[in-house]
Structure 1
Amino acid sequence: MAQQYTRKMIRKVFTKMLNERPLNKITVKDIVKACQINRNTFYYYYPDIYAVLSEIFQTELQTVIDEYNDTLSWEESFLVATKFALENKTAIYHVYNSMRREELENYIYGVSGNVMTRYVEKVSDGISASSGDKKLIASFYQCALTEMLLRWVASGMKEDPDIIVKRIGQLFDGTVALSLNRSAELEDIWQK
């Protein structure tokens, strides 16, 4: 219990600092001072601050997986999934502009993949699309959402993501079902 509390406190303090200054301006010394722990305690849990960053993104991704709601549209699910990024825009921007951008990219890719894979599975209920095509469709949207979100971060996160994601949903409404139905039709053709 104390271990979980300490880890959580370190992550919280680190996120707060990341919202205040760039990643390369945060040191272990800063974190232990703010947490009122000693360096050995920090190093007991993490080899460096990058491990803290990685754990934050892994924890947030697990939260997305755990809280996914099948009753929501993919747009609503995606906005719920990006809650951490929206609440910590400055921190996200600092990570994006650091040498650890890959951590952020992997987090966004994971969130997008989780949302789209579950959505494609939900839409495919009753459609005999191949599992390979389901994966391909989910991957296509995962890549598109990841790149759009990364470009949003790069541009300073000025636009309202709620408006953009909902508009994308309106523009592409029905395309996943259409693609799944095409998959089923193509399977029938190949089998003849």
Structure 2
Amino acid sequence: MAQQYTKKMIRQVFINMLNERPLNKITVKDVVKECEINRNTFYYYYTDIYAVLSEIFQTELQTVIDEYNDTLSWEESFIVAAKFALENKTAIYHVYNSMQREELENYIYNVSGNIMIRYVEKVSEDISASLRDKKLIASFYQCALTEMVLRWIASGMKEDPDTITRRIGLLFDGNIALSLRRSAGLNDG
């Protein structure tokens, strides 16, 4: 119990600092001082600052997976998933502009993939689309969503992601089901 509390405290202090300054300006010394723990305690849980960052993204991904609801559209699921980024815009921007950008890109890619794979599976329940095509459709939307989010971050996160995501949903409404029906009608033989 105390271990979980300490790890959570370290992650929260780290996020708070990341919302205040760039990643390369945060040290283990800063974190342990703010947490009022010793360096050995920090190193018991994490190898370095980047391990804290990695665990934060893994924890957030698990939250998205746990909160996924089959009654939600992919748009609503994605908006729920974007909550962490919206609550920590500066931190996300600092990671994006750091040497750890790949960690952020992988997180976004994994969240997008999780949402789209589940959504494609739900839509395809009554459609006999091939497994290969289901994966291809989910992957296409996963890549598109990932790149859209990265562009949004690169442009300073000014536009409202809720509005953009809902607009994309309206513009592409029915395309996934249509693609799945096309798959069912194709002769792969």
- TM-score above 0.5, yes or no: yes
Tell whether 2:71 aligns with 1:71: yes
Aligned twin of 1:112: 112
Q: CA deviation at 1:190?
A: 3.3
Paired AA for residue 152 in structure 1 = W
Q: Specify the alignment match of 1:190 in structure 2.
A: 188
| Mapping for residues 97-136 of structure 1, pairs under 5 Å | 97-136=97-136
Aligned to 1:96: 96
Is residue 146 from structure 1 mapped to residue 150 from structure 2 by the alignment? no
Give the secondary-structure state (helix, strand or coil) at the position aligned to 1:156: coil
Q: Which runs of 5+ in 2 are unaligned?
A: none
Q: Within 1, Cα distance between the matches of 2:45 and 2:31?
A: 13
After superposition, give the CA deviation of every residue in 1:131-162 in whole Å (9 maximum; x if it has no partner).
Answer: 11000000000000000000000000000001
Indicate the residue corresponding to 2:17 in structure 1: 17
Q: Distance in 1 between matches of 2:169 and 2:110?
A: 20
Q: Which amino acid aligns with 2:182?
A: R
- State TM-score, norm by structure 2: 0.99
Partners in 2 of 1:170 and 1:91 — Cα distance?
A: 30
Distance in structure 2 (CA, Å) of the matches to 1:18 and 1:36: 18
Q: Kindly provide the amino acid, as one letter, of the partner of residue 93 in structure 2.
A: Y
Cα drift, residue 19 of structure 1: 0.3
Letter in structure 1 aligned against 2:145: L
**How many residues were matched structurally?**
189
CA RMSD of aligned residues (A): 0.6
Amino acid at match of 1:80: V
- Which position in structure 2 is the counterpart of 1:39? 39
- Counterpart code for 2:179: S
C-alpha separation in 1, matches of 2:2 and 2:81: 28
| Unaligned ranges ≥5, structure 1 | none
Structure 2 letter corresponding to 1:176:
I
Give the whole-Å Cα distance in 1 for the aligned partners of 2:22 and 2:69: 34
Q: Secondary structure at the match of 1:99?
A: coil
Is 1:60 the counterpart of 2:60? The answer is yes
Separation in 2, partners of 1:158, 1:17? 22
Residue 85 of structure 2: aligned partner: 85
What are the superposed Cα offsets for residues 19-39 of structure 1, whole Å, 9 maximum, x if unpaired?
Answer: 000000000010000000000
Moved over 3 A (4+): none
